[in-house]
Structure 1
Amino acid sequence: MSKLQPWRDHQPGKTTPTSPYVGTGEEAPLGYATGWVMLLPLADLPPRSVRTVRLNGGDVVVYRTTTGMVRVTRPFCPHLGAHIGHGGHVEGEAIVCPFHGFSFSTDGVMCKIADGYDALPSHRTLQLMHHTESAAAIYVWTGQGEPTWPLPELLPPGSTTPTYSTVELSSHPQELMENSVDLRHTRVLHNFEDHRFIEEPVGDGPHYRYRVTLRRRFPPFGRLTADISVILYGLGVLRAYMKLPTLGLTFSAVMNNRQIAPWRVHLIMGTSMAFDLDPTGPARHLTPAMRAKALRILSPVNHHMMMLDLMPDLPVWENKRYTAPPHLAKGDGPIGHMRKWAEQFYDEADRKAQNARHAAEQE
């Protein structure tokens, strides 16, 4: 594989990641997981816009009405199967099929007849998907039926609007999540001087929580000790809060893993910042205007440094194999514990069907 370019060049469609399972006849060892998955930032979907997003081997269509209502739907028109995302457009509060011009309301029901027709076809609706908004982004539920758990607001009050960057990888959401509890690799790849769990990982239904302390240089802030609280919401979303009391700042990172095909994933990293308004903290003397100006300056620097810090992981993720069972050494993180927790998000029948479909597509 060629040498990795700076993170800003690792955009979807601009890389050709290798995969240890492509061309080998082997099935991908992990299937599609159920849960909340980020589709795109709200800023990328202005009113009257229509976007197509890859998800779990297929397309979903995201659109926003004139008044700003967001809807997520399976892509095919129930009339004669046209792809709504390729040429479909918004008129008022409806989306219009590009093939015959039928319109669909925000509840997915066909609501307007096209020119040349006498009556609406009966029982024709789009397949809307459950979605929610958090951290200035749109998330979709990938499971069947109603969501079985909610996704909360991921950012603390007072945070800046997140900055998002996307990397395309030949990997899997579970592999990326396991990396977060593998503290030993942070010394090798990220030059951390100290790394340990303050609170051991605990699985709580669809949530996986832990707290760590890490010490290293954080340019441009110098050598700092960070207290990081982490929560996983299924295998699609990781939220990390990092407090730096000496600066009076809280850094937030939201790592989103959207699987687009077997062993291919879009990693969408969002970063945000906020001041800790502790009345005894170092930010207590700053006026609101001073805090806002400081965040405008520091936020892009923070995002750039966070993405650069991600770079050493990319060639490892793109080229590694999933080892099951893991051959752990004394001192490794709780990878086995996390894998046991992750089992709840898979359906074995779905995994086998997914691999069969993918094999057929490659023939």
Structure 2
Amino acid sequence: MTTRASGERGPELPYPSGWFCLALSRELAPGAVLTRRLAGEDVVLYRTRDGQPHAVRPYCPHLGAHFGAGGTVEGRNLVCPFHRFAFAPDGVCVATPDGPPPRARLEHHTLRERNGFLFVWYGHDGAPPGWEMPDTSPPGAVPTASWATDVRAHVQELTENTTDLRHLPVVHHTTVWKADGPRAEGPCLRTYLRLGPDGPALLRKIQWDHTFLQAGMGCLRIELPVPALGGVLRLWVMHTPTAPRRTRLLLACGCTDDRQARSTGTALLKRPVHRAVARSLLWTSVRKVQEDVRIWNAKRYEPHPRLAAGDEGIGLYRHWVRQFYPPG
């Protein structure tokens, strides 16, 4: 892994390769065009009228207009706002208002739509995907509540947090009752934690099982079974590098009944309850994350941390993330 010159906040890490969430699926309706940042550059997302999402580099190859500044979707084509040159889903220019199209093609990013999220691949020097983005949850398990913020820290600083068990009682007043992992499985990392609030004995009886699945540095999914609802709460934490030492952090929650509903009516009755529970988990999580953001925004990256007993997860994590950086 290579780093740039050291500064006041430590060495500057390069962008990691991987799949990064640029939008929720519901943000990109058919015909919509969005501009998002990834690794210091704009990415334009659009969805054709038949529902297929695409991600392209932002500038028209004709005279450089930005598709995110007035570009439109007509049928399956993305249309430039400057001269109305139209580009098909494969990137080829297929029409102009007043003559045959030139030999021109848009540059595409590799995109995957999973569980209500749109992921775009970032590879060093344009390298193609080295692994596939897994379905992080069963079909139909999608977020119903979300929140996002920008953090002044490298994406690794945020994703490393899951393996730092020592900060939980200090920052979040949370007790770790049981831990298993992290276990590395190629580009994924799995962890199990039983957590509960710190405080009086009666409060400490509240314990929740958390199952973590981290896919690269971009996507973390946390599952919490809710036996009273016969379902599972899911919290997705998405980390997207937008600029040097800048990360877009997205939290999204959903609650699903993982048992077969007895009837359609029963499922419809449960839906408002599930949405309310998901909102509650979201805002509880937001409060916890804001405690971390205060520290992330001010801390520096330590490339050679002086780890203590109990920090083994951080050491494993530092070794695991090397696969996402250029060799060197």
Same fold (TM over 0.5): yes
* Percent identical residues: 34
- How much does 1:246 deviate? 5.7
Contact 1:163–1:303 under 8 Å retained in 2: yes
Give the aligned partner of residue 187 of structure 2: 206
Partner-residue secondary structure (3-state), 1:252: strand
Partners in 1 of 2:10 and 2:31 — Cα distance? 40
Partner-residue secondary structure (3-state), 1:178: helix
Q: With structure 2 as the length reference, what TM-score do the two structures score? A: 0.88
Query: In the TM superposition, what whole-angstrom CA distance separates every residue of 1:78-111 from its partner, at most 9, and x where no partner exists?
Result: 1122211112111111111122221000111000
Amino acid at match of 2:109: M
- How much does 1:114 deviate? 3.1
**Could you tell which deviates more after superposition, 125-134 or 208-217?**
208-217
**Unmatched runs of 5 consecutive residues or more in structure 1:** 1-20, 350-363
Structure 2 residue 273 is matched with structure 1 residue 294 = yes
Q: With structure 1 as the length reference, what TM-score do the two structures score? A: 0.80
Partner-residue secondary structure (3-state), 1:319: coil
Runs of 4+ in 1 over 4 A off after TM superposition: 23-28
The 1:85–1:299 alpha-carbon spacing in structure 2 relative to 1, beyond 3 Å, is same
Equivalent residue in structure 2 for 1:216, among 197, 220, 235: 197
1:1-363 mapped onto 2 (5 Å cutoff): 28-115=11-98, 118-122=99-103, 124-143=104-123, 144-157=126-139, 159=141, 161-197=143-179, 199-216=180-197, 224-245=206-227, 248-277=230-259, 287-347=266-326
Query: In the TM superposition, what whole-angstrom CA distance separates every residue of 1:319-340 from its partner, at most 9, and x where no partner exists?
Result: 1101111111222241111111
Amino acid at match of 1:254: W
**Unmatched runs of 5 consecutive residues or more in structure 2:** none
- How much does 1:60 deviate? 0.5
Contact 1:181–1:334 under 8 Å retained in 2: yes
- How much does 1:42 deviate? 1.3
Amino acid at match of 2:192: R
Name the count of aligned residue pairs.
317
- How much does 1:297 deviate? 2.7
Amino acid at match of 1:95: L
Contact 2:45–2:56 under 8 Å retained in 1: yes
The 1:223–1:299 alpha-carbon spacing in structure 2 relative to 1, beyond 3 Å, is farther
- How much does 1:229 deviate? 1.3
